[in-house]
Amino acid sequence: MPVNAKICGLSTPDTLDAAIGHGASHVGFVFFPPSPRDVAFEQAAGLAARVPEGVRRVGVFVDPEDALVAEAVRVARLDAIQLHRTAPARVAALRRPGVESWAAIAVKTRADLDAARGFVGAADRILYDAKTPEGAALPGGMGLRFDWALLVGFAHPLPWALSGGLDAGNVREAIRRTGATLVDVSSGVERAPGVKDVDKIAAFLQAAHA
């Protein structure tokens, strides 16, 4: 089965173009001010305008207010919203017609995977991400990974994607071990927090598609 890839936390035209040019199926824009990858509405609108048909635009949020999601969906013409630290009932409340809802689950142990079942009927896709340390300001994008063996044999209740500590050097193994058909990367294609690298983006996508 072909593997799709999302490059997340894009904030400049050159890195967005690199992601699209090398075959990313999804591009992610972060709407969370504490993140070094946060984009303003005007910035997001300009980037979204560069995205061609066939590549899906994903907005990334952390337990957001309704108004933030609504405006981001409008200005960035989002195809999906990716929600971190957001309870199932809140994910369901934030659903919008024609826009997919992704629920991120922070994973460290096998028991953490059980939370996925709570999103049936609330989300369209689960994003398994590495659990960040207690008290961390960011819910992801820190280069952490979880034990991929935890996913082996797990009965996924929804379509899903794999995130957390992926890079060009390990994404092929991650796909092989987990069976992921959608992988998501942010810090793994950066040269500094929030600063994407076009060569790393190219290498990641080449590895993911190999």
Per the CB < 8 A criterion, the answer to whether 153 and 189 are in contact is no
- For position 140, what pLDDT does the model report? 54
Strand, helix or coil for residue 19: helix
Catalytic residue among 8, 79, 167, 184: 8
| Known catalytic membership, residue 8 | yes
68 neighbors 61 (Cβ within 8 angstroms): yes
The rounded Cα 167 to chain-centroid distance in angstroms is 14
Residue 103 above 80 pLDDT? yes
CA atoms within 13 A on the CB side of 87: 2
Query: Which amino acid belongs to residue 86?
Result: T
Q: What is the pLDDT of residue 152?
A: 94
Spatial separation of the C-alpha atoms in residues 13 and 46, rounded to whole Å: 9
CATH of residue 196's domain is 3.20.20.70
CA 105 to chain CA centroid, Å, is 11
Residue 210, helix vs strand vs coil: coil
The closest alpha carbon to 6, from 169, 203, 201, 157, belongs to 201
Domain count along the chain: 1
Active-site pick, 66, 79, 124, 129 = 129
Strands 195-196 and 190-192: antiparallel
Distance CA 82, CA 6 (A): 12
Identify the domain containing residue 178 by its residue range: 4-209
Q: What one-character DSSP code corresponds to residue 45?
A: H
- Cα R_g (the chain), whole angstroms: 16
- The single residue listed with the structure tokens 């794999």 is 162
- Model confidence at 136: pLDDT above 60: no
Tokens of 82: 């990716």
Q: What confidence category does residue 132 fall into, taking pLDDT thresholds of 50, 70 and 90?
A: confident
Average pLDDT, the chain: 95
Is 143's pLDDT higher than 70? no
Residue 131 in this model has a pLDDT that exceeds 60 = yes
Could you tell me which residues come within 8 angstroms of residue 15 by beta carbon, excluding any fewer than 6 positions away? 7, 196, 197, 198, 201
Instruction: Report the chain's terminal Cα–Cα distance, integer Å.
Output: 12
Cβ atoms of 9 and 28 within 8 Å: the answer is: yes
17 noted as active-site residue: no
pLDDT of 24 above 80? yes
Prediction pTM value: 0.94
